[in-house]
Amino acid sequence: MSYLLRTLTKKEEVDSMIRDTIDKLLVLRFGRSSDSVCLQLDDILSKSERELSKFASIALVDVDSEEIQVYIKYFDITLIPSTVFFFNAHHMKMDSGSADHTKWVGAFHRKQDFIDVVEEIFRGAMKGKLIVKCPLPPERIPKFQLLYKDV
Amino acid sequence: MKEPSETKHSNPDNVPTERNSKTKEKNNEFEFCKVCKLNHNQGRRHNYLPNHVKSLSSFLSRFQSKLSDVRLFLKNPSSIRPELAFRNRFWCVFCDIDVTEHGSSFACENGISHLASADHLKNLKSFMWKHGGGMNRVNAFRISEADLAKYEKKCISMKNKGASEQSRVPLTGPSNDIHNELKFDYVDNFDRSHNSKFPNGVLPLQNHTNENYQVFHSDLPGGYHDKSFLLASDAKPSNNSTAKSFLNEGYLNNRQREADTEASSAGFQKLTRISSIVQEVGPGNVHSGAPPPWFGVTNGSQLDCVVKRRKSKLNPKRVGAEWAERRKMEMEMERKGELPAKQFDASWLPNFGRVWQSGSRKDSRKEFKVVETDKSFKDDEVNQSHDSSLLQLQPYISKRKRQEANE
């Protein structure tokens, strides 16, 4: 599924993607294309890319790549797939009731969920908000557990 | 005495008739203005109507743009392949003729010679007189003899060069032959399939005209027949020999027709190969992100206008608005080549609110950098500790002792 979207494997690529996406929401999916949940998410992303193309651009980031490790550490990515949102090179957070507000962990249940989330974040960003509330009902938010510094 | 009275009599009769005839002429004499593509009965008055003036200027500018292509070849003549010659023709709007390039070895050779010809000048002048383009612009729509002479000189020198470089020409030749051969093969197959593949006598319509295809099946004596064939069999139902001769005739016709289609499809298949023309187009195209050609040098500001209008629509308080504006400017500069692209640091990181971070997003980046540098510093220390073991370890000597020793 990953061939449908742009896959970034270098830090410079991610950098330039973040820097050159202006007034559009950037969706970065961290994961690997062999993982089944990633495949599920990629499917949703690729299907909605065209519909969202006016206000969002989507890129995949390969977590196995050596040169990406800086970002893996910086973004505290411990579970894949993790989806991080950026707007004008600013990180966009979302309060989804889970432990991690900084990213979306796991796949979306359906395409519309993803579109809703992207739309909500974009709207928030256009109003100057750095954090938004998740528009999805809690039963459609994947559950996970975070461990603080491997404790 | 009689004469004046006659004249008096005649005058009142004549004047109105003249007037009538004049107005009639005005009203009735429709003529076609090929600039406006319009039949009108306004005579010379038409030339001064704003619509005519507008369409005349666009008409002339269209031809001017066509001419500029030709002038390009005038300045640097380029040879042209004979199979491409038929693409490279142009319609002279003043002379109403299609200037083809058959039998010319250089691009637009015939066109250039036409534009320099006396016929063209004559037609051009009459056009300008009739439609009011301004006689002073005549030279813009023709090519002077001096230019033609220069061009011919260049052509001759090119030909001489070409003679020495002719080893290159055959390289392109065979590929065309292969192309044609392949296609002929395909047509041949089609030929055979006519006889073999349609047992029901149903033929696909190759030529979508109402040509009568002669269909024949020797194994089906009473099978499907063409209209003409049916007529014949009605006339002489028992005569097999005539039917057979018809069959043969039909077969021959069919073969001939197929030969025709072969020829026509051969002409049709030559639609390929545009690259030689495209190569000469300027530096950028759609894929390289160049502005479209209709935004010329003068209209380049239109793009900026579009961007500015979009800018104002966006919320100025949106996330990272300042950054976006700055970055947009930078990107614009980079695109124009005023700034070297990708000047940013390799260690650049975006603002990111980390999971366990309580401070601002900038803080998290700072902390991350500190941790990273610490780690690398530690790594360095580990490396250095190996080196430091080599350093001489000296016992501590107090300051006073050192001073005493110095004294």
Bridge partner list, A92 = A85
Using a 10 angstrom Cβ sphere, with 0-12 exposed, 13-18 middle and 19 or more buried, the burial of residue B40 is: middle
Report the share of chain B in percent with pLDDT over 90.
0
The pLDDT of A34-38, averaged and rounded, is 90
Residue A121 neighbours by CB under 8 Å, 6+ apart: A25, A85, A87, A92, A94, A132
DSSP string, B25-43: HHHH--EEETTTTEEE--G
The answer to whether residue A25 scores a pLDDT higher than 90 is yes
Scanning A21-149, the segments in alpha helix (DSSP H) are 36-52, 69-74, 111-126
**Share of residues in chain A with pLDDT > 90 (%):** 56
Query: Are A22 and B327 a contacting pair at CB < 8 A?
Result: yes
Q: How many CA atoms lie within 13 A of B404 on its CB side?
A: 5
Looking at the predicted structure, is the pLDDT value of residue A45 above 90? yes
Chain B residue closest in CA terms to A95: B355
List CB contacts (< 8 A) between A87 and chain B.
318-320
The ipTM assigned to this model is 0.78
**Contact yes or no for B315 and A127 at CB 8 A:** yes
Of A84-98, A113-127, B331-345, give the lowest mean pLDDT range.
Answer: B331-345
**Which pLDDT score is estimated for A116?**
94
Element (H, E) at A25: strand A25-31
Is the distance from CB of A80 to CB of A20 less than 8 angstroms? no
**Which residues on A lie below 8 Å from B346 (Cβ)?**
11-12
Instruction: Say if residue A81 is preceded by a cis peptide, omega within 30 of 0.
Output: yes
**pLDDT band, very low/low/confident/very high, at B401 (cuts 50, 70, 90):** confident
pLDDT at position B76, please? 78
**Residue A107: pLDDT over 50:** yes
**Distance from the B303 Cα atom to the nearest Cα atom in chain A, whole angstroms:** 17
Rounded to the nearest integer, the mean pLDDT of chain B is 65
List the single residue in B with minimal CA-CA distance to A72: B354
Where is mean pLDDT largest: B270-284, B285-299, B329-343?
A: B329-343
In this complex, do B327 and A11 lie within 8 Å of one another by their Cβ atoms? no
- pLDDT tens digits, B222-264: 444 444 444 444 444 444 444 444 444 444 444 444 444 444 4
| Cβ-based contacts of A23 with chain B (< 8 Å) | 314, 318, 324
- pLDDT tens per residue across span B348-367: 888 888 877 777 788 888 88
**Global confidence as pTM:** 0.42
Question: Chain A residues contacting B, CB < 8 Å?
Answer: 11-12, 15-16, 18-20, 22-23, 70, 73-76, 86-93, 99-102, 124-130, 146, 148-149
In terms of average pLDDT, the best of A119-128, B95-104, B287-296, B387-396 is: A119-128
First-to-last CA distance in chain A? 35
The conformation of residue B90, written as its DSSP 8-state character, comes to E
- Are residues B325 and B332 in contact, defined by beta-carbon separation less than 8 angstroms? no
Which pLDDT score is estimated for B254? 47
Q: CB contacts < 8 Å between A and B, how many?
A: 93
Say which residue, B192 or A61, is predicted with more confidence.
Answer: A61
